[in-house]
Structure 1
Amino acid sequence: MELYFMGTNAGVPSLQRNVTSLALRMLDERRSFWLFDCGEGTQHQVLRSPLRLSKLEKVFITHLHGDHLFGLPGLLSSRANQGGDTPLTVYGPKGLKAFIDLTLGISESRINYELIVKEHEGGVLFEDDTFQVESALLEHRIDSYGYRIIEKDRPGKLDFESLKKHGVKPGPLYGQLKRGENIVTEQGTVVRSCDVLGKPKKGRIVTILGDTRPCRAAVELARNADMLVHEATFLHELQKTAYEYHHSTAVQAAEEAKAAGAHEMFMTHFSSRYKDEEQLAPLLEEARAIFPNAKLAVEHVLYPISKYPDKS
């Protein structure tokens, strides 16, 4: 899994940064990627990225403010023209379906793939054999949600020396053992998967929050996360402004990461008043004084997501 930011600015785009959009690339895990928010111009950012819209599997919208949403109709239309013919599911707050239906309908956009829109109010949104996605309401001017992506534990590695001793040859039986099934060899020997599998590989946890003031839900979604993405719109000297506009400062983001026991945090959604890396540097300094593993999100960089040891 890797993070790829395509928009890190708050409110409006600037010459340096686009408005909010973030991809979770999972080529090894699912041969696809998931998109979180889709601000205006996101499809242009995709063209500059290693991503392909034909590989887009799911879109998660945190809230319905334009800087997180206005790029969605264009991106959905472009996906149809770029080889995307597999089903696509879009998750988001109530009102999302009306927005999509209206914009695609009035523009007579042709979508030649199955488009599924799931409005939600939090809870478990998706689960299969490899991932689970949970959501909770944050504290913003309108309903804004955070998402917790949980990668399920994966089977350990097969002990090939042990398999050789048992007379198990490479083939379908390997797959059965990897799935935790016991097998019987041609010689009639029962081989238990637990005897030839190493320890399971612990899955990673990624938490991606929408716009929010500091709140309990943000901390719970980020509990023991390997990677947390948290907005940090302002320096802490503007905490009153942040509160009035229902946003967070870099200090507040760091405090929540620390309280949650998260391992690594990327800050994003920066105010346009901070023009470049030099002006963003004080935000990083403030955050690292509280949470040393804080980083500034930079657009068009792939960030691998590591599995950290459990702190509990």
Structure 2
Amino acid sequence: MEFHFLGTGAGVPAKKRNVSALALRFLEHKGDVWLFDCGEATQHQFLHSKLSIPAISTIFISHLHGDHLYGLPGLLSSRSFQGGRMPLTVYGPVGLKAYIQMSLATTNTTLKYELRIIELEEASSFQIGACTVSVFMLQHPVQSFGFRIEEEAKPGRLHVEALKQKGVSPGPLYAAIKKGETVQLETGEWLNGKEYVEAPSAGRTVVICGDTAPTETVISYAKNADALIHEATFASDQQAHASDFGHSTIQDTAKMAKAANVHNLVFTHISSRYARDENEYVMEAKSSFEKVFVAYDFLVLTLSKKGELSCHE
């Protein structure tokens, strides 16, 4: 899994931080891309990354504030103009369908691919490919969602050398043994497949939150996650300001991450008040959690194995 941070600012764009957009690329699934939020100029941010807009198969809109949404009509249009033909599904709060349809109709835009718009009204769970996506409610002045993405368990490794010693060559028997079935060899011997396959390994789990004040719901859904990507709009000296607008501070987010026992924490959605000098913000963030990243535009993080999140400049 690769996480491409295309917009890490809050409210309004700044020179070094555009408004919210995060792309998740599945390296194991032909580079499939999921996009989380689509603030103004997100399609421009794609131009400065190694991602392509036609590769996007799924978009999640956390809530209907402009800094998470204004870039969506343009990106949908460009996907069509750039040759995207595979169906695209957009998930988001009630009202999203009307916004998209009105934007496209007003600009007389016809898409050359199937667009599916699914409005979410409450907590839910569904399957997309090899991942279970759990949607949960956050605490913000408007309906705002968080998303837990959990991969299926991966099959255990086959003990090839042990099978070769038994005279079993690659072929149909390997597939049956990997499923844990009992098979009979040409010699008449029976093999219990379960004895030649390691236990399945748990898939990776990532939690991505939209705008929210601190809430126990995040702790519940982020339990033992490999990575929590969460807003920390303000440093902790702005606690009252954060509370007034339904946002979280660095310490708010770090406390939830610790309570949930997450392996890695990523701060994003950072206020433009820190545009001139982020040193104070970054210093507090770095001291708030054992393994923490402060996201910035065009940062790429890779979750190669469970719990192992690394930065690629």
TM range, normalised to the smaller chain? Answer: over 0.9
* Post-superposition offset of 1:23: 0.8
The structure where strand makes up a greater share of residues is 2
Using the size of structure 1 for normalisation, the TM-score is 0.92
- Amino acid paired to 2:219: V
Deviation string, structure 1 residues 2-47 (Cα, Å, up to 9, x no partner): 1110000101111111100001110214530111000011111112
Which secondary structure does the structure 2 equivalent of 1:38 belong to?
Answer: coil
* Post-superposition offset of 1:180: 4.4
Instruction: State the alpha-carbon separation in 1 of the partners of residues 176 and 84 from structure 2.
Output: 33
Confirm whether residue 282 of structure 1 aligns to residue 280 of structure 2: yes
Instruction: State the alpha-carbon separation in 2 of the partners of residues 249 and 150 from structure 1.
Output: 26
Instruction: State the alpha-carbon separation in 2 of the partners of residues 179 and 81 from structure 1.
Output: 44
Aligned to 1:14: 14
Aligned to 1:164: 164
- Amino acid paired to 1:45: Q
* Post-superposition offset of 1:152: 1.5
Instruction: State the alpha-carbon separation in 2 of the partners of residues 67 and 281 from structure 1.
Output: 24
Task: Go from structure 1 to structure 2 and tell me whether the alpha carbon gap of 1:146 and 1:163 turns closer, same or farther (over 3 Å shift).
Answer: same
Aligned to 2:301: 303
Greater Cα shift, 183-192 or 227-236: 183-192
Task: Go from structure 1 to structure 2 and tell me whether the alpha carbon gap of 1:178 and 1:29 turns closer, same or farther (over 3 Å shift).
Answer: farther
* Post-superposition offset of 1:171: 3.3
Task: Go from structure 1 to structure 2 and tell me whether the alpha carbon gap of 1:23 and 1:189 turns closer, same or farther (over 3 Å shift).
Answer: farther
- Amino acid paired to 2:271: S
Task: Go from structure 1 to structure 2 and tell me whether the alpha carbon gap of 1:74 and 1:174 turns closer, same or farther (over 3 Å shift).
Answer: farther
Instruction: State the alpha-carbon separation in 1 of the partners of residues 73 and 182 from structure 2.
Output: 49
* Post-superposition offset of 1:223: 1.3
Task: Go from structure 1 to structure 2 and tell me whether the alpha carbon gap of 1:292 and 1:48 turns closer, same or farther (over 3 Å shift).
Answer: same
- Kept in 2, the 8 Å contact 1:166–1:191? The answer is no
Q: Which aligned pairs between 1:3-152 and structure 2 lie closer than 5 A? A: 3-29=3-29, 31-128=31-128, 130-152=130-152
Instruction: State the alpha-carbon separation in 2 of the partners of residues 13 and 25 from structure 1.
Output: 24
Task: Go from structure 1 to structure 2 and tell me whether the alpha carbon gap of 1:38 and 1:190 turns closer, same or farther (over 3 Å shift).
Answer: farther
Deviation string, structure 1 residues 31-89 (Cα, Å, up to 9, x no partner): 30111000011111112111112221111110000100111111111111223211111
Task: Go from structure 1 to structure 2 and tell me whether the alpha carbon gap of 1:248 and 1:149 turns closer, same or farther (over 3 Å shift).
Answer: same
Instruction: State the alpha-carbon separation in 2 of the partners of residues 7 and 220 from structure 1.
Output: 27
The alignment yields a C-alpha RMSD, in angstroms, of 1.9
Task: Go from structure 1 to structure 2 and tell me whether the alpha carbon gap of 1:89 and 1:24 turns closer, same or farther (over 3 Å shift).
Answer: same
* Post-superposition offset of 1:124: 3.5
Instruction: State the alpha-carbon separation in 1 of the partners of residues 40 and 269 from structure 2.
Output: 14
Q: Which aligned pairs between 1:153-302 and structure 2 lie closer than 5 A? A: 153-187=153-187, 189-275=189-275, 279-302=277-300
* Post-superposition offset of 1:193: 3.0
Instruction: State the alpha-carbon separation in 2 of the partners of residues 182 and 82 from structure 1.
Output: 51
Instruction: State the alpha-carbon separation in 2 of the partners of residues 269 and 189 from structure 1.
Output: 61
Structure 2, unpaired ranges of 5+: 309-313
Task: Go from structure 1 to structure 2 and tell me whether the alpha carbon gap of 1:238 and 1:53 turns closer, same or farther (over 3 Å shift).
Answer: same
Task: Go from structure 1 to structure 2 and tell me whether the alpha carbon gap of 1:299 and 1:174 turns closer, same or farther (over 3 Å shift).
Answer: farther
Aligned to 2:311: none
* Post-superposition offset of 1:158: 1.2
Which secondary structure does the structure 2 equivalent of 1:90 belong to?
Answer: strand
- Amino acid paired to 2:232: A
- Amino acid paired to 1:95: G
Structure 1, unpaired ranges of 5+: none
* Post-superposition offset of 1:247: 0.6
- Kept in 1, the 8 Å contact 2:285–2:294? The answer is no
- Amino acid paired to 2:291: N
Instruction: State the alpha-carbon separation in 2 of the partners of residues 121 and 20 from structure 1.
Output: 22
- Amino acid paired to 1:303: L
- Kept in 1, the 8 Å contact 2:227–2:307? The answer is no
- Amino acid paired to 1:282: E
